[in-house]
Structure 1
């Protein structure tokens, strides 16, 4: 039986392994996050709640239907004993001051628009966080790969040093130094692996997945040169920033609530209509005819200063606060854009410097040190320093590429639009030179 099942089990495990090792693209992760992230779902539910309040806010109060048994004698329940007794049905309708309901409906609609802008902003920031975490995964994948390559190189160097020590051509210090360097490199790999696992947990949280789910990503990014100025980006941000839209709609909502408060401080109306059914009683001057009544009531806002005007003052204060927040947000956007543009240029230059100058120089120095060490022209420390310099140059080259990509993702979240069409030709980072 086991021999019959075993091939199927092995085939299934092979399929699972193949699926797990398939790298996922950044675009696929973003699409999944937008569809499964719990925070996005929470905002969507809040929008549904707010939309359900819109028709309520603009609706008038419900009419009141009332049934009365009026003017019954105390001795018995008899509608035919007095001409004023009867069964009465009444209908009343309260009507707020004209414009109050319209202002309440406008406030509710602006609240919905504010939440919709909040949802768009949350999606932009989710894209940013997914990109940032994705780039961290790429960085740690490449750091692990590069450092493991150096571990193998150091192992060969350590073996060579041991062979030369046994032959009596080098000191024992060289062997010990090689082993220490090798142990430090292995410890560095362990650190990168732990950091990558943290990135996986963070990404799974953004995707709404189990924290134990493994993630494989593509191992390259592109360095783009931003082709637009900080001033142009600031203008785009002020036009398309979802946070500014949200604050604008919140301000309009409070302005509408101020209108509601002011109009609520003016007299409203209550219309009444009633019909009384009567029986004929001897001596009734109208011979038992039924009665109709109609009336108008007006509420008197005698506490207007303590209630409605105070609410209007509260609404004005909230409008002023939101306007101040918009000024603050515009300044923050301008400052962040200026900072990011400067840092983008710095990392682009650093990446270009390491790619075209420092890394080739360290590779050449490493090859020279290896040849010189084999010919006993330099000591072992020189070889180790050359190897370490090449490793650091490779890691720094990739660090600047990843930092550039993360800053570009942050800039897109601030501006509120994709900057793919606003960048120059990309330069690739991540492939081993």
Structure 2
């Protein structure tokens, strides 16, 4: 919305000119719900999709899931953990030995050679190591638990990335709406300047009022520079999360979904304990630590090897040997240390899960308090302070028209209304920030 100086120089009476300059509408008060704030103009990239990139959070999340390099690395590590499940329970690779007996041929009166079949005797031996009973199954189960832990960690990493994107988009949204409010304020100040100039020419206002209006216009333009800088920074941050160039344009942010009227803290904590992926990762970590402890205990029992040997004496009939080998677990001190290590790892995993649960409850409580406070602030601003500021602005305009109020009173009334609208925007941003944090902690959208 812009005030046109050319339109205000049309052939209309001075009184109508003043009324037209002051008749800039504000945001209407709503008893319930979230009132939409004005949009700021943004440069949008050509697109063929129904929702341009940047207009809402959903499109950004879909784009980031496929393009964010950090999440791609986490996804590849999770896939690698899954592949380790099949190999964990596999048998060790066998060994093949070739033994050359009497390679100097002293017993047969020949020369030294390393060619099989030309020495005194050639032995071909095949050896297959065999882990003790149950060890392979424990290794497979441990790898499976670690793969599930990695999968839960991937879900937690996505929630962290989604929260970062939501917060960046919300800063983009706030800067866009601040820019719209700043443009409306600048248009209002332009109208007040014209009206004050008209009254000054008629001797009804001092020169200081004109200078004050011009100074306020300059201050508002400086404020617009800061707002635009924040907007560009938000766009660069979003593009960085989407693996795009910092200067690539985004569509103007649309209106987000309505905020819930209230949230139940006890229900949120219960949902977090049931669905939070970080807590699920700790649960899988406990299972993996316990299985690793069982596998360490299984090292008290020996491993085995079997072997088959083909003996080929030169010039004689070949024969076969069967070998059975047992590993003797003599290193008791080392094994006991590994068992104590595994037991401590189980204790650490249990403590880590408890710490995560306590942290989740505390963070949910803090975010819930922020959300509740911001929603109450919104209710008071929208239901009480905003209508009061609008009524004060309208009364001051009428008094200014009849000469019963000076320029400073009009400017102060308009400033209070703008500040109220900015506070309303800020409380909305705070409520959404808290809601996004809660969604991350409970592991789902609310």
Instruction: Give the TM-score category using the shorter length.
Output: 0.7 to 0.9
- Whether the 8 Å contact between 2:262 and 2:372 is mirrored in structure 1 is no
TM-score, structure 1 length as denominator? 0.84
- Whether the 8 Å contact between 1:222 and 1:401 is mirrored in structure 2 is no
**Alpha-carbon distance in structure 2 between the residues aligned to 1:409 and 1:303:** 54
**Alpha-carbon distance in structure 2 between the residues aligned to 1:151 and 1:356:** 26
RMSD, aligned CA? 2.5
- Whether the 8 Å contact between 1:137 and 1:196 is mirrored in structure 2 is yes
Structure 1 counterpart of 2:142: 107
**Alpha-carbon distance in structure 2 between the residues aligned to 1:50 and 1:360:** 59
State the 1:263 CA deviation.
2.1
Structure 2 counterpart of 1:165: 200
Larger mean Cα displacement after TM superposition, 225-234 or 139-148: 225-234
Q: 1:134 aligns with which of 144, 161, 169?
A: 169
**Alpha-carbon distance in structure 2 between the residues aligned to 1:289 and 1:226:** 92
Structure 2 counterpart of 1:290: 318
- Whether the 8 Å contact between 1:47 and 1:115 is mirrored in structure 2 is yes
- The reply to whether residue 366 of structure 1 matches residue 393 of structure 2 is yes
- Whether the 8 Å contact between 2:276 and 2:442 is mirrored in structure 1 is yes
Structure 1 counterpart of 2:58: 27
Structure 2 counterpart of 1:69: 100
**Alpha-carbon distance in structure 1 between the residues aligned to 2:323 and 2:201:** 116
Structure 2 counterpart of 1:323: 350
State the 1:388 CA deviation.
0.6
When you count helix as a share of all residues, which structure comes out higher?
Answer: 1
Structure 2 counterpart of 1:249: 284
State the 1:298 CA deviation.
1.8
- Whether the 8 Å contact between 2:386 and 2:420 is mirrored in structure 1 is yes
State the 1:228 CA deviation.
4.8
Structure 2 counterpart of 1:43: 74
| SS of the residue 2:96 aligns to | strand
Q: Deviations over 1:338-397 (max 9, x none)?
A: 222222222122112222221121111111112212222122221111011000111111
1:211-222 equivalent positions in 2, closer than 5 A: 211-222=246-257
TM-score, structure 2 length as denominator? 0.82
| SS of the residue 2:165 aligns to | helix
| SS of the residue 1:65 aligns to | strand
State the 1:124 CA deviation.
1.9
Structure 1 counterpart of 2:298: 263
State the 1:93 CA deviation.
1.5
The count of corresponding residues between Structure 1 and Structure 2 is 393
Q: Deviations over 1:72-125 (max 9, x none)?
A: 53241599xxxx942221111211222222222222222211111111112222
- The reply to whether residue 198 of structure 1 matches residue 233 of structure 2 is yes
Larger mean Cα displacement after TM superposition, 339-348 or 142-151: 339-348
Structure 1 counterpart of 2:339: 312
Structure 2 counterpart of 1:342: 369
Which consecutive unaligned segments of at least 5 residues does structure 1 have? 1-14, 281-287, 420-433
**Alpha-carbon distance in structure 2 between the residues aligned to 1:123 and 1:384:** 48
State the 1:152 CA deviation.
0.8
Which consecutive unaligned segments of at least 5 residues does structure 2 have? 1-42, 114-118
State the 1:237 CA deviation.
0.8
State the 1:243 CA deviation.
0.1
Structure 1 counterpart of 2:27: none
| SS of the residue 1:400 aligns to | helix
Q: Deviations over 1:55-79 (max 9, x none)?
A: 2221222111122222453241599
Q: 1:379 aligns with which of 406, 421, 429?
A: 406
**Alpha-carbon distance in structure 1 between the residues aligned to 2:395 and 2:168:** 38
- Whether the 8 Å contact between 1:257 and 1:312 is mirrored in structure 2 is no
- Whether the 8 Å contact between 2:55 and 2:254 is mirrored in structure 1 is no
- The reply to whether residue 95 of structure 1 matches residue 130 of structure 2 is yes
**Alpha-carbon distance in structure 2 between the residues aligned to 1:348 and 1:17:** 34
Structure 2 counterpart of 1:10: none
Taking a change above 3 Å as real, the CA distance of residues 92 and 226 of structure 1, as seen in their structure-2 partners, is farther
Q: Deviations over 1:147-176 (max 9, x none)?
A: 110111011112222332333322222122
**Alpha-carbon distance in structure 2 between the residues aligned to 1:19 and 1:28:** 12
Taking a change above 3 Å as real, the CA distance of residues 162 and 78 of structure 1, as seen in their structure-2 partners, is closer
- Whether the 8 Å contact between 2:45 and 2:249 is mirrored in structure 1 is no
